[in-house]
């Protein structure tokens, strides 16, 4: 780094400090407008692991099976195992979490997904790709129930709703660890 | 770059030769440009017809930067890599808005014009997809095909901290959800601390409005963090006191490790380097060869890049192009004299934290042969064969 570069670096760091000071001390500028409750409700459709955001309604594996055949099987296979897109169904392996050892093991809802609420959130958010947003909340509950049952996570007569979905035990969950690299 | 240009010229020359042969003796000599008036001005610039640059195709959901054809540190905007999960949406900027709600004092809506009224920031940063290693690459693989999912641009926008001030983020909020306006409505959970650090919302790229495949009209930009978290076509931010555990941060973008765990929220991209010249499909002449490439790290600045011309037995410090910018591609150069004979050239980056880019063997031992493709940054190299032709130094993964 020559003298010019040092001077530039010093000047830019001083400038950044000054900018940081301005931002930190800044009061609201009065730009933008308040969101209405209706606007928030129209877009706020995410679901958290604690169940926050889950709508009213419920679903069952039996009802979901019919819907899966009609709307999902073209990409995920008749039983959710055949593809050609993501393999969704497969309860094994339940022990050892050997995904790093064997690239042939598909990452399914049953063996890899750590949270059941994610299934509902993702289907409602993005599925099916040829008509995203076209499924009703009841449809999504039914499909979620079907996929959880197919992965041997809930019984055939289970009713999946805002109360039961967050309680579904996902075998993969203890294997997930937060990143500990220093930033 | 010399090589590529040389090849192009050679290709152009042989094309001319063929044309000349086909047209027998009737083709006139090339026009002397000093003896004929050139074309008139036009309102949109174009590349030279002899430089047909394009991205590296990777199916319907991604395309990569052709690093073997580029120089310096800035990626032309139309060659910046793209990756999307629901296609590239068409968004009318007049109907664009960003909603910020959740654990805030004042849930608010900002139009694009609103975002541009805030004090602006402009920074040069790399952006890299966390799945940026082609593990099945064979000898005839270009630098762009191997690792084209990283690019560097000057990004312009508004600090996220300024918007958070505007809505009054609760001191109890620790995470926020960022959601896109595409058919995937892609969502990622981001620590609020990143907003205090250096996160911003970008609406400009290399001096112009960002391209549709980069998130037009506005995207989240998280310097140094995996591409997927830099949510494009950003329409909503929800403050929370816990992560949302979306599909992209649980079943995808998590990395199995050999110890039977899967790492999640792996935000920072580790240090990496890539020799872009010479590379496939170049051919060397004996004598002086400039080895150059790019290095980058999510930890900040690149401290050093070492180059080896003997397959990693000995290493030599390369020269870094100044200024070395934080969380940006850094061009490195090393002058080599190729005397003939087969050689394997490699590079390894060391960043400001002291982290050194790992060997493939070290990374494989940590991550395992079955691990997902995310966050793989091994030392890679190119084989110079005795006849001067250059190929990717193929190494099996696992």
- Residues spanned by CATH 2.60.40.650 within chain B? 272-392
Q: Burial level of B323, CB count in 10 A (0-12/13-18/19+)?
A: middle
The pLDDT assigned to A18 comes to 42
Residues of B (211-240) whose Cβ lies below 8 Å from A: 235-236, 238, 240
Nearest residue, CB atoms, B245 vs list A19, A49, A183: A49
DSSP β-bridge partners for residue B158: B120, B201
Q: Give the alpha-carbon dihedral of A158, A160, A161, A163, to 10 degrees.
A: 60
How close does chain B come to A90, measured CA to CA in Å? 14
Note whether A122 contacts B118, CB cutoff 8 Å: no
Q: Say if B177 is an interface residue toward chain A (CB within 8 Å).
A: yes
What is the architecture, at CATH level 2, of domain B77-243? Alpha-Beta Complex (3.90)
Q: pTM of the full predicted structure?
A: 0.90
Low-confidence ranges of chain A (pLDDT < 50): 1-25
Cα distance between residue A149 and residue A151, in whole Å: 5
The domain over range A51-175 is classified in CATH as 3.40.50.150: no
Nearest residue, CB atoms, A117 vs list B245, B267, B372: B245
The pLDDT assigned to B9 comes to 44
Q: Say if B1 is an interface residue toward chain A (CB within 8 Å).
A: no
Note whether A9 contacts B367, CB cutoff 8 Å: no
How close does chain A come to B216, measured CA to CA in Å? 19
Residues of B (263-282) whose Cβ lies below 8 Å from A: 263-268, 270
Note whether A100 contacts B371, CB cutoff 8 Å: yes
How close does chain B come to A6, measured CA to CA in Å? 10
How close does chain B come to A73, measured CA to CA in Å? 19
Nearest residue, CB atoms, A132 vs list B86, B121, B179: B86
Interface with B, mutate which of A1, A20, A32, A96 (most B CBs under 10 A): A32
> Cis bond leading into A128, ω under 30°?
yes
Residues of A (115-154) whose Cβ lies below 8 Å from B: 115, 117-118, 121-122, 125-126, 129, 132
Residues of A (14-73) whose Cβ lies below 8 Å from B: 19, 22-24, 26-29, 31-35, 39-40, 43-44, 46-50
Per the structure block, which two tokens stand in for A12?
């830019």
Nearest residue, CB atoms, A32 vs list B109, B254, B323: B109
- Residues spanned by CATH 3.90.420.10 within chain B? 77-243
- B316 φ, ψ (degrees, to nearest 5): -135, 135
Note whether A35 contacts B235, CB cutoff 8 Å: no
Cα distance between residue B100 and residue B163, in whole Å: 9
Nearest residue, CB atoms, B118 vs list A5, A31, A40: A31
How close does chain A come to B209, measured CA to CA in Å? 21
The pLDDT assigned to B25 comes to 60
Note whether A100 contacts B256, CB cutoff 8 Å: yes
Say how many C-beta atoms besides its own lie within 10 A of residue A137's C-beta.
16
pLDDT tens sequence across A13-22? 444 444 444 4
In total, the C-beta contacts within 8 angstroms joining chain A to chain B are 180
Cα distance between residue A169 and residue A148, in whole Å: 10
Distance from the Cα of residue A90 to its chain's centroid = 19
Cα distance between residue A105 and residue A92, in whole Å: 9
Note whether A40 contacts B250, CB cutoff 8 Å: no
The domain over range B272-392 is classified in CATH as 2.160.10.10: no
The pLDDT assigned to A182 comes to 63
Per-residue pLDDT of chain B (398 residues; tens, 9 = 90+): 344 444 444 444 444 444 444 445 667 788 899 999 999 999 999 999 999 999 999 999 999 999 999 999 999 999 999 999 999 999 999 999 999 999 999 999 999 999 999 999 999 999 999 999 999 899 999 999 999 999 999 999 999 999 999 999 999 999 999 999 999 999 999 999 999 999 999 999 999 999 999 999 999 999 999 999 999 999 999 999 999 999 999 999 999 999 999 999 999 999 999 999 999 999 999 999 999 999 999 999 999 999 999 999 999 999 999 999 999 999 999 999 999 999 999 999 999 999 999 999 999 999 999 999 999 999 999 999 999 999 999 988 77
pLDDT tens sequence across A125-143? 999 999 999 999 999 999 9
Note whether A44 contacts B236, CB cutoff 8 Å: yes
Per the structure block, which two tokens stand in for B206?
């290399």
All structural domains of chain A with their residue ranges = 51-175
């Amino acid at each position: 780094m020559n003298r010019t570069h040092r001077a530039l670096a010093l000047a830019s760091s001083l400038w950044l400090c000054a900018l940081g000071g301005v931002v930190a001390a800044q009061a609201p500028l009065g730009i933008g407008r308040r969101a209405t409750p209706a606007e928030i409700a129209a877009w706020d459709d995410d679901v958290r692991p604690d169940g926050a955001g889950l709508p009213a309604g419920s679903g069952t594996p039996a009802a979901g099976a019919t819907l899966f055949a009609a709307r999902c099987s073209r990409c995920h296979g008749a039983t959710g195992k055949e593809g050609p897109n993501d393999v969704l169904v497969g309860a094994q392996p339940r022990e050892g979490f050997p995904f790093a050892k064997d690239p042939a093991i598909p990452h399914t809802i049953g063996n890899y997904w750590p949270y059941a609420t994610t299934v509902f959130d993702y289907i409602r958010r993005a599925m099916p790709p040829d008509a995203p947003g076209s499924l009703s909340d009841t449809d999504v509950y039914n499909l979620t129930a079907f996929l959880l049952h197919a992965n041997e996570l809930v019984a055939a007569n289970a009713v999946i709703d805002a109360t039961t979905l967050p309680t579904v035990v996902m075998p993969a969950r203890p294997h997930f660890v937060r990143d500990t690299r220093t930033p | 770059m010399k090589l590529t240009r040389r090849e192009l010229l050679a290709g152009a020359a042989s094309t001319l030769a063929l044309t000349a042969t086909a047209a027998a003796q009737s083709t006139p000599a090339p026009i002397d440009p000093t003896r004929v008036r050139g074309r008139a001005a036009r309102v949109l610039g174009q590349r030279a017809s002899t430089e047909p640059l394009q991205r590296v195709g990777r199916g319907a959901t991604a395309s990569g930067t052709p690093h073997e054809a580029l120089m310096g540190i800035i990626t032309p905007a139309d060659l910046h890599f793209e990756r999307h999960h629901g296609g590239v949406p068409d968004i009318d900027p007049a109907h664009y808005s960003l909603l910020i709600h959740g654990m805030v004092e004042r849930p608010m809506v900002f139009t694009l014009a609103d975002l541009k009224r805030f004090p602006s920031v402009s920074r040069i940063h790399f952006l890299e997809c966390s799945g940026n290693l082609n593990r099945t690459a064979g000898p005839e693989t270009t630098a762009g095909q191997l690792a084209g999912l990283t690019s560097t641009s000057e990004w312009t926008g508004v600090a996220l901290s300024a918007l958070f001030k505007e809505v009054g983020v609760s001191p109890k909020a620790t995470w926020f959800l960022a959601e896109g306006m595409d058919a995937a409505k892609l969502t990622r959970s981001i620590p609020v601390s990143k907003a205090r650090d250096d996160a911003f919302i970008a609406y400009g790229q290399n001096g112009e409005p960002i391209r549709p495949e980069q998130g037009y009209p506005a995207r989240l930009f998280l310097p140094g963090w995996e591409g997927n978290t830099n949510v494009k076509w950003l329409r909503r931010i929800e403050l929370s006191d816990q992560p949302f555990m979306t599909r992209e941060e649980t079943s995808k973008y998590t990395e199995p490790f050999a110890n039977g765990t899967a790492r999640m929220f792996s935000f920072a991209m580790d240090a990496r380097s890539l020799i872009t010249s010479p590379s496939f499909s170049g051919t060397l002449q004996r004598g002086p060869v400039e080895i150059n490439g790019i290095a980058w790290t999510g930890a900040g600045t690149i401290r050093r890049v070492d180059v080896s011309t003997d397959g990693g037995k000995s290493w030599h410090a390369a020269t870094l192009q100044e200024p070395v910018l934080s969380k940006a591609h850094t061009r490195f150069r090393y002058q080599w004299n190729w005397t003939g004979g087969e050689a394997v050239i490699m590079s390894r980056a060391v960043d400001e934290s002291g982290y050194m880019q790992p060997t493939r063997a070290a990374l494989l031992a940590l991550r395992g042969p079955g691990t997902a493709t995310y966050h793989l940054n091994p030392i890679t190299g190119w084989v110079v064969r005795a006849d001067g032709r250059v190929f990717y130094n193929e190494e099996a993964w696992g």
